[in-house]
Structure 1
Amino acid sequence: MTTRPAKGLFLTFEGIDGSGKSTQCRLLAEALQAQGREVVLTREPGGSKGAEEIRSLVLEGDPDRWSAETELLLFTAARRDHLERTIEPALEAGKIVVCDRFADSTRMYQGLSRGNLRPAVDKLHQLMIGREPDLTILVDMDPEVGLSRAKGRQTAEERFEDFGLELQQKMRTGFLDLAQEFAPRFRVIDGNRPVETVAADVLTSVQAALT
């Protein structure tokens, strides 16, 4: 058995709205911290001061507030700031970064949702971000259940949920296709089960990546 080099590990969670990935991020961070590991729990859009300011711009307001092209630029700007100020420093310090969404969400929501912007998403990602996660957990969830959960939160950040069930169904299919495209780093976890069962499967997948 080989030992992982003394550097950080970059873990991301993806899934449709209401899939439970944010809860699983928190539970994983708590489990790893209980093992004595240094963990940075963060999110996108957000995770740094500048990125959090952009978050309110893209997640609040009318669904048609921004075009997909404008969203792509805003999300990339937020991600660049997040990468510079939070993710890279933590990884350089040997910490585990657990991030709720990353570039795969942009590949789906801006690259797939309203026109075929995927080539532009990938070019901009290569130019301005240039990093993929070490491991991505896709929490797969029934779109109807996920949307019901997401709308039930009743927060101001419901702009994407307001696009409706059709978008959630399209995003679920897209995420599963993405898991095949980037198969070496993706683990698909069935989110249609009790939270504790899902968390146990997530921790098993992450433990394997840590060895």
Structure 2
Amino acid sequence: MTYVRTDISLALSGCKALLFDLDNTLVNTEIHHIRALSLALQEKLGYSFTFADSQEYIGITSTEMSRRILARVGRTDVQAEELSQRKHELVMQAFSAQPYPGVREFLRAQQGQRRLAIGSNSPREFVLSCLQRCGLLDCFCPIVSRGEVTSPKPAPDIFLRAAELLGVQPAECLVFEDSAAGLAAAQAGGFATVLVLNPGNPLPDPLPEAIPMLTWPQLLRAS
């Protein structure tokens, strides 16, 4: 496989809009989601859930993750939606995170040059709250979350809806993602992609071929 690791200047120069995933792409939210889910599972099921357990569920929605966990432990007395909602309540109560180093500077450098949008598998309430707390809410319009489309990632619906609202074609966009599901969603919709490398994030498996893979400091220098 061939990976373009350092230079995306050409890709940036040819696009009208940048579409961003939120969780673990712009902001390190994973630990907060895992902690909240662990508390919800302990509360509802008496089930112990660790960070290591969470790694097999990267890139899927909380409801789907809850559904798989319930199937694994053989519990039918609790609904996946109920568990996911409790996890959402807990993460909203305790959430505190900041953007990865370089994110703010990169976004500010791009504002005025290109349209910026969010395409996230998280609930809209969480996305808006997270962006507001991080001081990034004014950077993005539109903001598309999982509740506004028929199918979440890895289906392309979220990114296609964002492009539609922006009035641009997928070929005129560049998508920034961290997960296999997100990359698959973007590529299924005909979008060019960038794999953002953040500290502590595992590489997606499998890795798509010939895509830029960069950290935020590298992206900032390229902009």
TM-score range, shorter chain: 0.3 to 0.5
What TM-score, normalized by structure 1, do the two folds share? 0.38
Indicate the structure with greater helix content: 1
CA radius of gyration, larger in: 2
TM-score computed with the length of structure 2 as normaliser: 0.37
